[in-house]
Structure 1
Amino acid sequence: MTDTVDATAADRALKARHRAMWGLGDYPAVARDLIPELGRVLVAAAGVRRGERVLDVAAGTGNAAVPAALTGAEVVASDLTPELFPAGREFAARAGAELAWEEADAEALPYADASFDVVLSCVGVMFAPHHQQAADELVRVCRPGGRIGLVSWTPEGFVGEMFRTMKPYAPPPPPGAQPPPLWGDEQHVRGLFGDRVTDVVARRRTVTTSGWETPEAWRDYWKSVYGPTIATYRNIADDPERVAALDRDLAALAARYDRGAGGTVLDWEYLVLTARRA
């Protein structure tokens, strides 16, 4: 009994840290200014249609939920961090979309079995620490014959490299946690879903980001807006040498990927994966 209580308390503390992390910086600006196309790509890949009941898991500010709602679907945008919802509601209002916003943990969704026609997640569920639990929930709430659609950063792409770069400076992951970019590995996701899904289609694509004069300017922007990066810097804030080292490492990463002329341009690879619930 004590072990169960301790595990439950540890999980609550972990989720509280995750919720706080995604409330840092300005993730709504990242979603709005850098990756707005990802949600539209996912909605098209999943074939969302008018009248379908759709759940967007770890929806953030509604990058996928809002375009899904614009098809005429009945959409629920769920996220562990409701602090993101005001920006999501503003985004929806500007687009003329109507949908529900509900606080929910991707590893313990508060919805009945088989209650959605389509279950989506756009660079969201990949950040749930326990991949199998999250995958089980995606499958559970999707009706038989329904679709699951995911967009995830790949391990080999820029964002996957960025997480590897930050790892030595970040707090150690909790027991059982897996790296988020594994969701961008088709075989990993197939293993999570197993024979509970069919008709798996996976394609790698890139989104081009720009707007910085130099790799160092990208780094300074990123360490001010992106929750995981801010949390990593806070972890080493009392060690100026490590802060300087991470500064160098992130700028070097951006310089390696930079294909701009007169400004920094970065291509970020992601995986679009769709499947049908068996």
Structure 2
Amino acid sequence: MNPNKALWEKGDFTRLAETMRRSGSELVATLGIKKGMDVLDLGCGDGTTAIPEAKLGANVQGVDIASNLVEAGNRRVKEEGLTNISFREGDATDLHDIADESFDLVVSIFGAMFAPKPLDVAKEMFRVTRRGGKIVMGNWIPGDPTLVAQILRVSSAYTPAPPEGFISPMLWGVEKEVTERFVAAGASKENISFSRETFTFEGPFSTTDFLARFRDYYGPTMNAFEAAEMNGKAADLERELAALFNSQNQSGDKNTTSIPATFLKVTMIR
């Protein structure tokens, strides 16, 4: 079993994606999508950005490594009555069944950053983008004080050390690393730009319930709790994350969650 596939099929990321819909749509609205554009949404999950892309008139192909998320995405497409979008399984490190220069826009928001072999990811994203087309990534930033970077930091303290040769996905949030990867794939340095943006997680429930979604449905956090349980430290992990969630909630209502998280937006012109 592919370890990355196993990680993202382990839980049910749709339970977190439900809290990301508004920010996903707002981000898509900034991408300059026009009717008839061919868009690849890589690491698409159940369609937080892919479905808004299709609603703007693009022809969208969603690709994700997790079969359960592909199934959930295709269900959402059917419910929405969309005919210009489909989801299928695929690996961001090897898009062998996609021809060169197939897409006007390649989007990956908190998706491809988690695939292993980042140089292969950059190469494949560059390869399938048409000349004059664009790649847009949203990547979490290492050491950032906001929610997701801190969840991953806290969780890592409770899990075993990664295997030798492991490359942290958080390096996709470092401008120098991103530039080197895309330049190695064939991009011109001057065609790569960066900005720091905000993605907000929100829902009509308490931060306790929101934390439960991470604990029960988000693969990396599930692994952290399993490891902490084995070491008798699950309660410590729960307390540390609860303090984080409570401190970052900006809703002003204990029964509502609204937590912003900063990410690095990468834009590359092919």
TM over 0.5: yes
Q: How well do the aligned residues superpose, as a CA RMSD in angstroms? A: 2.3
Cα distance 1:39–1:212, how it changes in 2: closer, same or farther (>3 A)?
closer
Question: Which residue number in structure 2 is paired with residue 7 of structure 1?
Answer: none
Out of 115, 118, 134, the residue aligned to residue 147 of structure 1 is 134
Contact 2:106 2:125 in 1 (8 A): yes
2:30 match: secondary structure: helix
* Structure 2 residues not aligned, in runs of 5+: none
Aligned equivalent of 2:228: 236
Q: Distance in 2 between matches of 1:265 and 1:50?
A: 32
* Match status 1:88 vs 2:73: yes
Equivalent pairs, count: 261
1:196 aligned onto 2:187: yes
Conservation of the 8 A alpha-carbon contact between 2:15 and 2:213:
no
**Alignment counterpart, residue 104 of structure 2, candidates 93, 97, 117:** 117
Contact kept, 8 Å, 1:208 with 1:265, in 2: the verdict is yes
Structure-2-length-normalised TM-score? 0.86
DSSP 3-state at the match of 1:266: strand
What is the Cα deviation at residue 70 of structure 1?
A: 1.9
Q: Percent identity?
A: 33
8 Å CA contact 1:54, 1:75 repeated in 2: yes
**Which of the numbers 13, 16, 20 marks the counterpart of 1:35?**
20
Cα distance in 2, alignment partners of residues 30 and 273 from structure 1: 23
Unaligned runs of 5+ in 1: 1-12
CA contact (8 A) 1:46 1:148 kept: no
TM-score, reference length from structure 1: 0.84
Q: Which residue of 2 aligns with 1:208?
A: 200
Task: State how 1:1-278 maps to structure 2 within 5 Å.
Answer: 13=1, 16-32=2-18, 34-98=19-83, 99-110=85-96, 111-155=98-142, 156=144, 157-194=146-183, 196-197=187-188, 198-211=190-203, 215-240=207-232, 242-263=233-254, 265-277=258-270
Deviation at 1:214, TM superposition (A): 5.7
Q: Distance in 2 between matches of 1:130 and 1:239?
A: 31
Name whichever structure is richer in helix by fraction.
1
- Which whole-Å CA distance do the structure 2 matches of 1:217 and 1:61 have between them? 21
Q: Which amino acid aligns with 1:80?
A: I
Deviation, structure 1 residue 58? 1.0
Alpha-carbon separation, structure 2, partners of 1:265 and 1:69: 26
Quote how far apart the aligned CAs of 1:105 are.
Answer: 0.7
Find the aligned partners of 2:202 and 2:23 in 1 and give their Cα distance.
Answer: 15
CA separation of 1:148 and 1:95: change in aligned 2, threshold 3 A = same
Q: Distance in 2 between matches of 1:221 and 1:208?
A: 16
CA displacement, residues 200-255 of structure 1 (integer Å, 9 cap, x when unaligned): 34222223334477654443332012121112222333222x21221222123223
Tell me the secondary structure at the aligned position of residue 199 of structure 2: strand
SS in 2 for 1:262: coil
Q: Structure 2 CA distance, aligned partners of 1:120 and 1:81? A: 17
Seen in structure 2, the aligned counterparts of structure 1 residues 42 and 218 have a Cα distance that, compared at 3 Å, is closer
In 1: Cα distance, 2:44 partner to 2:91 partner: 11
**Separation in 2 of the partners of 1:203 and 1:154?**
12
Cα distance in 1 for residues equivalent to 2:6 and 2:28: 28
